Amino acid sequence: MDELYRSLNPIQKKEFQQQRFHDLIQRSWPGLISYALVWWAIALPRLWYEPTSENLSWLSGFGFLILLCCGLRIRLLRRFRQRLADERAKVPWEIFVGTALNASAWGVIAAVSLLPDTPLSPLVMVMILTTSGICAGGVCSLAISRYLVCMFLGCMLTPSIIVLALGYSEHPVEMAIAGIIFWISMYLISGLPRREYYTASCSNIKLSHQAAYLQELSRVDSLTGLNNRRQFEHLFETELKRASRGRYPISLLLIDLDHFKHINDQHGHLIGDECLKRVATTLSAQLKRATDAVARFGGEEFAVILPGTSEADARQVAESIRQALETLQIPTATENISLTASLGGVSLIPSQEGSARDIIKLADDALYRAKHEGRNRCCFAPGDEPGDEPGVVHEAPAADDTPHGYAISPQSSNA
């Protein structure tokens, strides 16, 4: 078990402890019910057949003691659950104290039944059987914590063992030895379900983390760390539906590095990969909102999703990206490599009938036009603003001018 636990990383260990604490809370509830039900199942028939005042006072007094311990245990469990929810739980002392209260109360009652001339003396055999059953059930429920099992058995059996060992009972002293053997046996038996629990829990945690890692790999481009094509398509479909319901604009930019094949041919693919990584970092730095997303579209192509962004704001973002890539320098052993990029964009308020493929086609056509008209420029579909030179974006405003809009802004008429 220790080997299994040590094989977990720190995050998995914390998750395992949280799961174990939650399971201890769930496994404590059956004991709360069984203590009260078993006691009154013993006491009520006794009061029915021998309704004396002495029996009533003793049996009801012990019953009240059990109910009081159960109530305190419930309060402690709720307090521990709250600490666990607040991530402040390091040691489950509430569970230990609550279990000790219940087990000690029952252990004292079982010891009293061993004493001669008490109202519980006629119930001694019933108490021995029920105590053994509660011990077995408690060991199975609490087996995931060896310390809790040891404490539980000690509180249940120690009072009876003391009474028998010191000769206060009419029963033979050998019963004390039998009680000690029973204690040790129950503790050893608890090791099997504990090992099974550790094996299953550690395996499930490892598998869940591996599944999350594989799912992350399916969404992320391994070279650049950006969203991959599959994740881009999922995000774009989601944002399109949201924009269609909210009737606000969404913009898409497609970015293609100019003459990138020449870089691969002249400097090698390792330098080309380094260029793609630097481009990915630069693109991510240009996006300031949590809702914006950048993805590697394929090869040396990238895509940027700008929800709630009008065409005017998208043009500003596109131009800032173009300028950032134009000033990017990638050092090599012989020289610094400069890059430029062509950008195609589209900005619109999507309709229910529109498809992501059609919008991507519009942006791709705009990108083709930017390539055809000389590269290192931004073009938007389906056309440019009135009065513009075809295919060329406005100069980006200075830093103090209107920035990329962070709120939903009105859509321009030619989108």
* Segment 180-200, tens digit of pLDDT: 999 999 999 999 999 999 999
- Beta partners for 347? 251
Q: Position 275: which residue type?
A: C
pLDDT at 412: 37
In sequence order, the 6+-apart residues with CB closer than 8 A to the CB of 132 are 182
Considering only CA atoms, which of 401, 409, 338, 411 is closest in space to residue 380?
411
- Check residue 318 and give left, alpha or beta (phi > 0: left; psi -120 to 50: alpha): alpha
Task: Enumerate the domain spans of the chain.
Answer: 2-210, 229-381
In sequence order, the 6+-apart residues with CB closer than 8 A to the CB of 21 are 80, 84, 89, 92
pLDDT at 84: 87
Q: How many CA atoms lie within 13 A of 82 on its CB side?
A: 6
The answer to whether 332 touches 267, Cβ cutoff 8 Å, is yes
The answer to whether 49 touches 67, Cβ cutoff 8 Å, is no
Considering only CA atoms, which of 341, 315, 327 is closest in space to residue 415?
315
pLDDT at 228: 93
The answer to whether 343 touches 377, Cβ cutoff 8 Å, is yes
Q: Percentage helix, strand, coil, to 5, in the chain? A: 65, 10, 25
Q: How far apart are CA 241 and CA 354, in angstroms?
A: 10
pLDDT mean values, one per 10 residues, the chain (415 residues): 77 89 90 87 87 89 92 93 82 91 94 91 92 93 93 95 92 92 94 91 90 85 92 93 92 94 89 93 92 93 95 94 93 87 93 83 94 93 47 35 34 35
pLDDT at 1: 62
Q: Position 406: which residue type?
A: Y
Q: Residue 382: is the preceding peptide bond cis (ω within 30°)?
A: yes
In sequence order, the 6+-apart residues with CB closer than 8 A to the CB of 319 are 378, 393, 394, 395, 396
Q: How far apart are CA 107 and CA 128, in angstroms?
A: 10
Joined tokens for residue 249: 């604009």
Q: How far apart are CA 174 and CA 171, in angstroms?
A: 8
Q: Could you list the active site residues?
A: 300
pLDDT at 396: 33
pLDDT at 2: 65
pLDDT at 275: 93
Q: Position 21: which residue type?
A: F
- What does CATH list as the number for 229-381? 3.30.70.270
Joined tokens for residue 200: 């299953």
The answer to whether 31 touches 133, Cβ cutoff 8 Å, is no
